[in-house]
Amino acid sequence: MKKVFQCLLLLFIMTSFTTHADTHHPPKKAKKIISKLAQRVVMALKNKDFKKLASFIDPSKNLRFTYHSFIRETDPIFSPQQIANSVNNHKAYTWQYGNNDAHLKMSLSDYLTQITYAHDYAKAKQVGYNHMVHSSYGKNNARDYYPKAIMVQYYYPGSNKYGVVNWSDLRLFFEKDHTNNWRLVGVVNDSWAA
């Protein structure tokens, strides 16, 4: 009985260590793992190539979009097929934001072009890998929703005309799928208006 208990304890410790090691990657390691894939996602957004964007999504989890830093259960979630066909879908979805019941209504295609890629994030000078280069004033609960993800933050600091008042960012969340490949599962856009 003692040996069985020791074996179970050892198995538990090994599993706990492996799970912890796989769920958090330091920024340098995260960059090495995910930077090329993240850049391909950003280029698909920039080029409005939503079929290409769809190819990066985990079809078993789909893709959640969050407008501002606080993730909600009610945030819209889309399948790869819905993303690929977004230009043909003119249905207005509700995008909630801020710390209250504020929301906007727009199609997925409009959201992708006007909100998700509101700035040229492909040219971002500040990119964080599992590290926020700029933090929002709002509550950030991303780790509650994406505990095993690598997060990539593309930060736009604002223009000279408005200074820091019009900053924004694009955050991409990647998790491993059932084949151990990294796939896009979450997109968060945040800005000064949060």
The predicted model scores a pTM of 0.82
Cβ neighbours, 10 Å, residue 64:
20
- Give the pLDDT score at 176: 95
Q: Tens of pLDDT along 106-118?
A: 999 999 998 899 8
Long-range contacts of residues 33-36, Cβ cutoff 8 Å, at least 24 apart? 33/150, 33/182, 34/129, 34/150, 34/152, 34/174, 34/182, 35/129, 35/152
- Give the pLDDT score at 179: 94
| CATH number of the structural domain 25-191 | 3.10.450.50
Domain assignments of the chain as residue spans, ordered by start: 25-191
- Give the pLDDT score at 72: 84
- Give the pLDDT score at 103: 79
Q: Quick check: helix, strand or coil at residue 128?
A: strand
pLDDT of residue 19 exceeding 70: no
What does pLDDT average to over the chain? 82
Listed ranges 13-17, 21-25, 100-104; the one with the highest mean pLDDT: 100-104
Q: Tens of pLDDT along 121-149?
A: 999 989 999 987 877 666 778 888 889 99
pLDDT bracket for residue 18 (50, 70, 90): very low
Contact 140, 12 (CB under 8 A): no
Backbone angles phi, psi at 183, to 5 degrees: -135, 150
